[in-house]
Amino acid sequence: MALERVHGGEQPHIKLGVFKLRIPIIHYKLELPESLQAVLMVATCLGAIPILTEYLGLPYEIAWAMVIINGFMYFLHATMGDPVVPGWITPGIPLVIAHISAWEMGPQRIQAVIAVQILVAGIFLFMGITGLAKQLMSRIPRSIQAGILIGAGIVAIYNEFLPTGRFNQFPISVGAAGLLAYFILFSNTFKSLRSKNPILNKLGSFGMLPAILLGVIIGPLVAEIPVPKIEIGTFIFIPPFGDVIRSVSPFSIGFPSADMFLKAIPLALMAYTIAFGDLITSEALISSADKSRDDEKIENNPNRSNLICALRNGIMALVAPYPPLCGPIWTAVTAAVAQRYKEGRKAMDSIFSGVGTFRMFTAIYIMLFPVASLLRPVLPIALSLTMLVTGFICLSLGMSMCKTDKDRSIAGVMGCVLAVQGAVWGLIVGVILFLLVDFNFVARAKKEDTEGAAK
């Protein structure tokens, strides 16, 4: 029986400095919709397997074991007080793949991943310890925050519709599943219908699950994916941790050279810039959820999120280097959980009930042979669906943050540059445009003179 929360207070926890320890069942209740949604959303987590096998040349079992390790790392966020469903630094995946492809397949390429991930962990750690993350969050101009979100949204959707994108490989499955996800998650019409129909209300409570199920059904019917086959195997896959360490850990294959670290610095900065956009998205989503209810106070601390991301990236770099990297939020699922949270305490007791249940069950399901074998054919469709929903949410939040025409113009230009030229150039252009167009140096100078005279 979970401890009861005082109305208007924070969910019960054990205070550990900046962290707030919450144990499932003891500190929050488990939620049935999130536990069921996790079954098929595991497909996106398993979507890292093709990346690991194709670009690092690893056997399927080693790649699967690395995904399982990463799955348990996800659970650190809800456990340590971060009210989100964490995920990858998704828009950075193509950048990481392009970077490591400069090295030959084998230990050197894996070392290239290690170098990037160690640097990313270091940046997260620095931002979290110094408290700069929280300060930056409150001081970055609206237009630049919006530009990061808009750029990330453009990248997420644009990549799916490239000639080599997943939409062109699975047009009917991705198209139908994507439209259903948009309708269930964002449609005013569906919102009105579910308020009158208990069946549609229950369907809406499962977030993206119905859309993924549609992809599983349609894919084989139109011959875009093979018919899923359930394999029982040993039922639970016990990861060969020893083989993982011997295959990919820097303690076995050697640490990256100084040259590798130097070449990885620009990519690490870009990855953090993208992740910082995710932090902004997280702040916007959680703030919106917090304002929707008065029975729970949700404390979202960017410094804590940075520290947990540093821990995850650091552990993965040393144990199971991961090209998708470890980011602060899985936007699509966090949005789905937040949407259901807004329906009231009867729908979801606490935000931690939703995010904690989802990540706990994905960590369990990802180890099951029947689940992994069933979802293996649908992995690309689930990944595409996640990107499409992420793009929609980023664009929506980014545009809603713009209050003036100047905000919209700066954010739009910055977002386009970020999408085409990368995160670093996007950020540079955004800052320059803000200083040239929106920052009033004359008014600032007058204000400082007035304050100086008053003293």
Distance, CA of 308 to CA of 303 (rounded, Å): 9
Residue 348 · residue 31 · CB < 8 Å: yes
**pLDDT (0 to 100) of residue 61:** 93
Q: What is the dihedral of CA 134, 137, 140, 143, to 10 degrees?
A: 180
DSSP class of residue 378? G
Average pLDDT over residues 25-45: 86
**pLDDT (0 to 100) of residue 297:** 94
H-only helix segments in 206-293: 209-221, 241-248, 250-253, 258-292
Residue 106 · residue 57 · CB < 8 Å: yes
Give the 3-state secondary structure of residue 28: strand
Distance, CA of 97 to CA of 55 (rounded, Å): 7
Give the dihedral sign, CA 388/217/348/80.
Answer: negative
Write the pLDDT tens digit of every residue in 358-385: 999 999 999 998 888 888 788 788 878 8
**pLDDT (0 to 100) of residue 352:** 95
Residue 307 · residue 127 · CB < 8 Å: no
**pLDDT (0 to 100) of residue 153:** 85
Q: Which domain holds residue 179?
A: 14-405
Q: Is residue 204 part of a domain?
A: yes
Distance, CA of 88 to CA of 92 (rounded, Å): 9
Q: Over the Cα atoms of the chain, what is R_g?
A: 22
- Which residue in the block uniquely carries the two structure tokens 């050697």? 254
Distance, CA of 290 to CA of 36 (rounded, Å): 24
The answer on pLDDT for 442 being more than 70 is: no
Q: Is residue 54 part of a domain?
A: yes
**pLDDT (0 to 100) of residue 335:** 85
Q: Is residue 224 part of a domain?
A: yes
Give the 3-state secondary structure of residue 19: strand
Closest CA to 309 of 49, 52, 112, 126: 126
Residue 127 · residue 269 · CB < 8 Å: no
**pLDDT (0 to 100) of residue 385:** 85
**pLDDT (0 to 100) of residue 179:** 94
**pLDDT (0 to 100) of residue 444:** 54
**pLDDT (0 to 100) of residue 108:** 95
Half-sphere exposure of residue 50: CA atoms within 13 angstroms, side-chain side: 12
**pLDDT (0 to 100) of residue 216:** 83
Q: Is residue 379 part of a domain?
A: yes
H-only helix segments in 47-160: 48-55, 60-74, 76-80, 93-100, 107-130, 132-139, 142-160
Q: Is residue 449 part of a domain?
A: no
Which residues in 243-353 belong to E strands, given as ranges?
A: none
Triad 279, 34, 385: Cα angle to 5° = 65
To the question of pTM greater than 0.75 for the whole model, the response is yes
H-only helix segments in 293-350: 302-319, 331-341
**Tally of structural domains, the chain:** 1
**pLDDT (0 to 100) of residue 266:** 82
The answer on pLDDT for 332 being more than 80 is: no
Write the pLDDT tens digit of every residue in 93-151: 877 888 898 899 999 999 999 999 999 999 999 999 998 876 776 677 889 888 888 88
Average pLDDT over residues 209-223: 88
The answer on pLDDT for 451 being more than 70 is: no
Please state, rounded to an integer, the average pLDDT across all residues of the chain.
Answer: 88
Write the pLDDT tens digit of every residue in 156-198: 888 889 898 889 999 999 999 999 999 988 899 998 898 888 8
Q: Is residue 427 part of a domain?
A: no
**pLDDT (0 to 100) of residue 447:** 56
Q: How confident is the model at residue 446 (pLDDT cuts 50, 70, 90)?
A: low
Q: Is residue 435 part of a domain?
A: no
**pLDDT (0 to 100) of residue 443:** 56
Region for 344 from its dihedrals, namely left if φ exceeds 0, alpha if ψ lies in -120 to 50, beta otherwise: left
Of 32-36, 121-125, 208-212, 317-321, the one with minimum mean pLDDT is 208-212
Amino acid at 133: A
- Which residue in the block uniquely carries the two structure tokens 């009158």? 196
* Phi, psi for residue 439 in degrees, rounded to 5: -90, 125
Q: Is residue 42 part of a domain?
A: yes
**pLDDT (0 to 100) of residue 324:** 92
**pLDDT (0 to 100) of residue 378:** 82
